[in-house]
A and B are shown apart, each in its own frame.
Chain A
Amino acid sequence: MSTDLRYQLKCRECGSEWGNQPVSFCQKCFAPVEVVYDLARIRREISRDEIARRPVNLWRYQELLPLPERYDSSLPVGFTPLVRATALGETLHSKSLFLKNDSVCFPTLSFKDRVVAVALTQARNFGFEVVSCSSTGNLANAVAAQATRGGFKACVFIPADLEPAKVLGTEVYGAQIVRIAGNYDHVNRLCTQIADKHRWGFVNVNLRPYYAEGSKTVGYEIAEQLGWRLPDNVVVPMAGGALITKINKAFRELAELGLVEKKNVKFFGAQATGCSPISSAVKAGRSEIDPQKPATIARSLAIGNPADGFYAVKTIVSSGGWAEDASDSEIVDAMTLLAETEGIFTETAGGVTVGTARKLLAQGRIKPDETTVLCITGNGFKTTDALAGRFETAEAIPPKLAAFEQYLERDLAAPLGAKGAV
């Protein structure tokens, strides 16, 4: 790096450096910018032991995040469980399967809490009073919750037809919601125009380079939780495509810093069939993205014109990985499979990841003996409508032992093997 900054924005195409400012693209060639770090300096400051001494949340990786000199680290975001998934692994034929479970990320139960935590430190640094975003739901929840704690005013933009739980989960924090009659891509385009005109901190527009760095913490945590080693494969859901590129960046940084052994991790991207611009490009051997009109129950992934689609394809292909997609019924089946085998209730996006992993294992693209991590990014309680009608409401019985015995005989004997049990 040409300056003494610990981190700064750099154009991903022409390489121009821009210091630190709230912009998402190069002011010279208009391609996207991203944060780059002075890794030689960070290498002297960071070690596994030093990290281990710190609080168990994403701020423990502070040197590797674009944080201002002073920031509030009191919110314990991140460091979600990495769970060994033996039962799911048996079903999918993987002997070493792990789930990175961001469905319990604090405070709003999705991986978006990570990116917002980082973005708001810069929103404060740049002096924004209003923070905003275009959202398919989870991001709006995270912005609304963390903005209120941070003393920002929040105004979020969503497609009008979002799941009710995601709308309520934004309203409850007192955020202003602007519902747009259109899909996410319409919302997103409008937000780009608003950010061009009004001085608001849009976490995923003008603060996007900083925001997206928060996704790297998923990668740091996976490595640390595996005992400072990298997995063989990662399966990552893709909407805008940033998460998969940032987990890759995280792994590369850890290797460069000597915190893990270098390894060629294969990246596998997961999309819903009804919105699969990135997986379609990978399957067709194209690097360019053809936008799509989303039609899927996985609304948190319903981005037809993904900002990082081009880079996601590059990440996947250069790693030797692949991309697949799951239909709506495969998504729902995968959600229930995960719940029934591992006791984890994920939202539709998690169904996409599990459903896609199932295909990749069946295709032999992921081998049973390899260590594979599936990224579960959101919570099932936010998308219960996807399971509407899936379960029958049980008959109510009188509070009498005799009635229960009858019920046991008639309805519970088969599922519980109850005759033997009593």
Chain B
Amino acid sequence: MNVTVSIPSAFRQHTDNVDRYECAAGNLAQLLDALDARFPQLKTHLRDEKGQVRRFLNIYVNDEDIRFLDKDYQFKDGDEVTLVPSIAGG
């Protein structure tokens, strides 16, 4: 199964300018592990010291904030994941 991650421009300094990354992760934990392995410099920006997703990082699956999905949401083939470093607006 293939999941595509869109990498925002701010993160690309840590991904050698790669802006899309495909992997076969089954869930969020596996996806973060895959990103950590592929882009080691990005790791500390995605997770804090305890390994939790950073407070200001927003993760969307297709158009949905991942926090609205099941805690152990299983990715489906073709899911598009978007990372937003820090949400603005309001």
Given A191-B89, A204-B90, A291-B67, A30 contacting B54 (CB threshold 8 A): yes
Collect the chain B residues with CB atoms within 8 Å of residue A208's CB.
88-89
Given A25-B85, A30-B10, A239 contacting B65 (CB threshold 8 A): no
Q: Are B82 and A32 in contact (CB under 8 A)?
A: no
Q: Are A134 and B89 in contact (CB under 8 A)?
A: yes
Given A30-B57, A189-B60, A288-B55, A25 contacting B10 (CB threshold 8 A): yes
Alpha-carbon gap, A216 to B56, bound state (A): 23
Collect the chain B residues with CB atoms within 8 Å of residue A206's CB.
88
Q: Of residues A204, A239, A305, which shows the largest number of chain B Cβ atoms within 10 Å of its Cβ?
A: A305
Over the window 112-145 of chain A, the binary record of Cβ atoms lying under 8 Å from chain B Cβ atoms (1 yes, 0 no) is: 0000000000000000000000100000000000
Collect the chain A residues with CB atoms within 8 Å of residue B54's CB.
30
Alpha-carbon gap, A5 to B86, bound state (A): 26
Alpha-carbon gap, A42 to B64, bound state (A): 45
- A185 interface residue (CB < 8 Å to B): yes
Alpha-carbon gap, A76 to B84, bound state (A): 36
Given A186-B63, A290-B67, A305-B58, A30 contacting B86 (CB threshold 8 A): yes
Q: How many residues of B contact A (CB 8 A)?
A: 24
A196 to nearest B CB, angstroms? Answer: 5
Given A27-B10, A291-B65, A293-B68, A192 contacting B55 (CB threshold 8 A): no
Q: Are A185 and B88 in contact (CB under 8 A)?
A: no
- B38 interface residue (CB < 8 Å to A): no
B6's closest neighbor in chain A, by CB? Answer: A193
Binding site for A on B (CB under 8 A): 8-11, 13, 45, 54-58, 60, 63, 65, 67-68, 82, 84-90
Given contacts A134-B89, A189-B60, A291-B65, 20 further A-B contacts (CB under 8 A): A25-B86, A30-B45, A30-B54, A30-B86, A186-B63, A188-B89, A189-B58, A189-B63, A189-B87, A191-B89, A192-B88, A196-B8, A240-B90, A242-B90, A288-B55, A291-B67, A305-B65, A306-B90, A307-B86, A310-B55
A-B residue pairs in contact (CB < 8 Å), sample of 17? A25-B10, A25-B85, A25-B86, A30-B11, A30-B57, A188-B87, A188-B90, A189-B82, A191-B88, A192-B84, A192-B88, A193-B82, A193-B84, A204-B88, A204-B90, A240-B90, A305-B58
